[in-house]
Chain A
Amino acid sequence: DTGVSQDPRHKITKRGQNVTFRCDPISEHNRLYWYRQTLGQGPEFLTYFQNEAQLEKSRLLSDRFSAERPKGSFSTLEIQRTEQGDSAMYLCASSWDRGRNEQYFGPGTRLTVT
């Protein structure tokens, strides 16, 4: 068990550019979550997958955001036409869906939009 990994750890981009983040969950976990955390705040839920199906999306996930989990393993989160308000830490978590199981978080991707 190597834990949840995220890549890149840091990303600086100019406003209007597209960015893509990757998350690799713990291998046996079939649920994967994305959260966004702005400075001084708690994480906010964005979306989650059960296997390859995206089952829930927050109203925070505007149409500039898209997430995929094509083979039910790793996931990508893409932000198109980035805005300064997108600057945040993007956290990925995974869990097992049997019974009540806690979510394990990755180290996050820090996005800075200049």
Chain B
Amino acid sequence: AQSVTQPDIHITVSEGASLELRCNYSYGATPYLFWYVQSPGQGLQLLLKYFSGDTLVQGIKGFEAEFKRSQSSFNLRKPSVHWSDAAEYFCAVEGNAGNMLTFGGGTRLMVKP
């Protein structure tokens, strides 16, 4: 069965600093990977996805992620964080059965002014 690990439960960065959120997955076949963002009390918004092809994918709000098969990782990055990026971020892998998603435990991002 697939699984996703987000090693960092909380991360605090200063506004304007760069950001990297880690995601490691376990899946037997070619993974389909996603990053979602969730603001307090809200549903999930898709930031970006990786299905195949170029291993560096661009998303919304200036985010990007790099798929590294050798490391089973799909880390999310942003060169300059804005205060509005404070939220919870979830990495997910798509399974075989009906495209259900398996999520990591999430990383809560706080942004210092």
- Chain A residues in contact with chain B, CB under 8 A? 4, 31, 33, 35, 40-45, 48, 50, 55-56, 91, 93, 95, 97, 100-108, 110
Q: How far is the CB of B98 from chain A (nearest CB, A)?
A: 5
Please tell me which stretch of B65-73, B77-85, B99-107 contacts chain A, meaning at least 4 of its Cβ atoms lie within 8 angstroms of it: B99-107
Is the CB of B25 closer than 8 A to any CB of chain A? no
26 cross-chain CB contacts under 8 A: A4-B43, A42-B92, A42-B103, A42-B104, A43-B103, A45-B100, A48-B98, A48-B99, A48-B100, A50-B98, A55-B97, A55-B98, A56-B98, A91-B44, A93-B44, A97-B99, A100-B32, A100-B51, A100-B94, A101-B99, A102-B34, A103-B46, A103-B99, A103-B101, A105-B43, A105-B44
- Chain B residues in contact with chain A, CB under 8 A? 4, 32, 34, 36, 41-46, 49, 51, 90, 92, 94, 97-106
On whether the beta carbons of B90 and A42 are closer than 8 Å, the reply is yes
With most chain A CB atoms within 10 A of its CB, the pick from B4, B32, B103, B104 is: B103
Give the total number of A-B pairs whose CB atoms are below 8 A apart: 62
Minimal Cβ-Cβ distance residue in A for B100: A45
| A42 and B106 contact, Cβ closer than 8 Å, known pairs A56-B98, A91-B44, A105-B43 | yes
On whether the beta carbons of B101 and A43 are closer than 8 Å, the reply is yes
Q: Which of A45, A100, A106, A107 contacts B101 (CB 8 A)?
A: A45
Q: How far is the CB of A98 from chain B (nearest CB, A)?
A: 11
Chain B residues with CB under 8 Å of A93's CB are 44
On whether the beta carbons of B103 and A44 are closer than 8 Å, the reply is yes
